[in-house]
Structure 1
């Protein structure tokens, strides 16, 4: 972790900034942008990857600014250490005490650091930030806890709703990661659609570069991957609907196995029972704790990616698959069509026979595979990091203007 050496912006300069209007033109001074970094500094998957990728892309594309990552603690891990080694990214631990820090006391630290804009990267921002000079934006990933409450405990639902609806009301701007999430925020929270901007996510750049043959061979041997396999990536939970893939696999060419990468929850027992009932023990492979550096290689060796989730805020695994040049089948009913584009295939998440039919159609047609790979790779460029990062910086500048 590097020590802070940057010059502090004076209160007078901050006040001047508040009154200035620079639109989207180039800035003659540095911005100081603060982020809720709890997940960036501690989580190795999901929202942690999203947070690190977003901040790192900003730091590389707009190096003239300072990016302050606020977290109550930091985890020692290669991904996190690498992220924090970026020249203009600084970890900020509590100066004002840990009690209620992320919710309230962080405001004192933001003021001391002369932060001009604070970005809550996952559904919450500090209380009372609207009464300070600091502008704020909050990212809403999804409202699945309201759309599918049966997947969450009563306490979790109440807590998530309380934090997210409060943040949506108090933030200067809301970023939704898909049009579907934007529509949900309008529907459930009654927020004016004009306050919400849709800015899609990208995925880590490592998924955008083909691995060489030697690296792929090493990864294949390390995890004992089969010659032909269907891939599914994501937490093994009911909403992700892995059971449907297992049921469809019974009617898929036996040359193909199913490789599943994800953290196990209690739903794993349901999936395991289905595998045993259908006698598919030799055709389903579970991998856990895969180093992030190896994951793109596994994608690149797959024959097909299948993601029949009942509901998602966006669907980063689909983006990873398309960048990896893998034909993709997903489910209707949420935002997965936004992520997969018009040339991926979509099925009803309740129909195993339909999924089996579409899997076989893709695996049996090299021509269709080639077409889906080419058109999928073309479509996914709309989520490329430079484009998404520019949209985000434009959003920041508009808030501060």
Structure 2
């Protein structure tokens, strides 16, 4: 069988979530199915460091994207006698010479108010038209969660039977150091401290990892942390035992246009020295930051999956996350679910978890077991099985 794949997310000097997802699949699939041929179609910016005897990279010059998608790609699919084409996002030739599977990770931009203005509205309406055509012509659609599946049915009007919810997974050998709590974390406390120093983190901390767009709900998180601090500090201020005077809220993610407003909010709440914005975190540092955190918190209003929650559980870090969209599917009963629109509820969960050593330990153990259900091997096998089923 010859499987064609759109590989343009594997770009030089750029790491994307879809790119990681695709590369993990390729590494597993080319090893597991040595009798299959995989052709990765890229453009002049595509870079593939991974090599396998049954994997070929074909570069097609891309000047105009729609021409690449709708003219050049189908011509190559036909010429290469591709049996099935796999797209890791919602793009595919309208008139493909072979059956194709498209991937819709989520429909965030059609479902949240983050993207406003006439340009986005025009784009969204155009995207809906293209999305419906691509979805209805696809042999199958892959999505990351049952929640996203419902979104696709509602927005694109696609038959339920065509959509396959295949949860994301993580690669356990992501980090080479010995394990601390779980699949990713470093056992060596000195290594955790070394990485903390890189990002100017002192003492104990609560961690968030992601971007700072409004749907990530970081404004309420900062407000909830400020409120929790008022409840956590007094015992020490009065000379008693307990309390958490050194706790920080670490917000891990590349700085964007939303960060200055969040910094001003932290300053207005007298929390500027307790809220740390790390900027971009290297992949190799993430496991140590997850493992070093007392709690991982993810109060997002919308997620198609919520990979950072899974990563945190894999490191044995207790999780607090939203009770909305796809996140309950990921965390199950292995974390504390909160109403992301209720600051007091978020604050209460932080206080409860920081004060309850046994609860944190129980959630660590549950999280580690839960994370084992989401692996690259599992989602790759399901994708391969789906490919075979449409032939």
TM-score range, shorter chain: 0.7 to 0.9
Aligned counterpart for 1:94 among listed residues 38, 60, 65 = 60
1:226 and 2:202 are equivalent in the alignment: yes
**What residue in structure 1 maps to residue 239 of structure 2?**
none
Q: 1:223 to 1:64 in 2, by over 3 A?
A: farther
RMSD over aligned Cα, in angstroms? Answer: 2.1
Give a deviation string over 1:133-173, Cα, whole Å, max 9, x none.
Answer: x1210111111222224534223322432332222111100
1:114 and 2:78 are equivalent in the alignment: no
Aligned counterpart for 2:140 among listed residues 169, 173, 178 = 173
Counterpart secondary structure, 1:339: helix
Aligned counterpart for 2:167 among listed residues 172, 197, 200 = 200
1:389 and 2:353 are equivalent in the alignment: no
Q: Is the 8 A contact 1:177 1:314 kept in 2?
A: yes
1:54 and 2:29 are equivalent in the alignment: no
Normalising to structure 2: TM-score of the pair? 0.86
Matched residues in 1 for 2:44 and 2:381: separation? 30
Matched residues in 1 for 2:336 and 2:17: separation? 24
Kindly state the Cα deviation for residue 63 of structure 1 after the two structures are TM-superposed.
3.4
**What residue in structure 2 maps to residue 17 of structure 1?**
none
Q: Which moved more, 1:317-326 or 1:378-387?
A: 378-387
Matched residues in 2 for 1:141 and 1:371: separation? 31
Kindly state the Cα deviation for residue 69 of structure 1 after the two structures are TM-superposed.
1.9
1:267 and 2:258 are equivalent in the alignment: yes
Normalising to structure 1: TM-score of the pair? 0.84
Q: Which moved more, 1:140-149 or 1:89-98?
A: 89-98
Runs of 4+ off more than 4 Å: 95-99
**What residue in structure 2 maps to residue 18 of structure 1?**
none
Q: Which moved more, 1:245-254 or 1:232-241?
A: 245-254
**What residue in structure 2 maps to residue 40 of structure 1?**
10
Q: How does 1:2-401 map to 2 (within 5 A)?
A: 31-42=1-12, 43-74=14-45, 81=49, 84-94=50-60, 100-129=67-96, 132=97, 134-152=98-116, 153-205=120-172, 206=174, 208-213=183-188, 214-250=190-226, 251-252=228-229, 253=232, 254-400=245-391
Q: Which moved more, 1:361-370 or 1:104-113?
A: 104-113
Counterpart secondary structure, 2:276: strand
Matched residues in 2 for 1:272 and 1:159: separation? 36
Q: 1:364 to 1:377 in 2, by over 3 A?
A: same
Matched residues in 2 for 1:284 and 1:257: separation? 6
Unmatched tracts of structure 1, length 5 or more: 1-30
Kindly state the Cα deviation for residue 96 of structure 1 after the two structures are TM-superposed.
9.0
Q: 1:374 to 1:197 in 2, by over 3 A?
A: same
Give a deviation string over 1:103-152, Cα, whole Å, max 9, x none.
Answer: 331111122222211111111112211xx2x1210111111222224534
Q: 1:370 to 1:96 in 2, by over 3 A?
A: closer
Matched residues in 2 for 1:341 and 1:151: separation? 30
Counterpart secondary structure, 1:151: coil
Matched residues in 2 for 1:86 and 1:263: separation? 33
Give a deviation string over 1:51-88, Cα, whole Å, max 9, x none.
Answer: 22222232233333232221223356xxx53xx33454
Count of aligned pairs between the two proteins: 362
Counterpart secondary structure, 1:266: coil
Matched residues in 1 for 2:207 and 2:52: separation? 33
Q: 1:114 to 1:57 in 2, by over 3 A?
A: same
Kindly state the Cα deviation for residue 196 of structure 1 after the two structures are TM-superposed.
0.9
Unmatched tracts of structure 2, length 5 or more: 176-182, 233-244
Q: Which moved more, 1:231-240 or 1:90-99?
A: 90-99
Counterpart secondary structure, 1:211: coil
Q: 1:67 to 1:238 in 2, by over 3 A?
A: same
**What residue in structure 2 maps to residue 15 of structure 1?**
none
Kindly state the Cα deviation for residue 363 of structure 1 after the two structures are TM-superposed.
1.1
Q: 1:159 to 1:267 in 2, by over 3 A?
A: farther
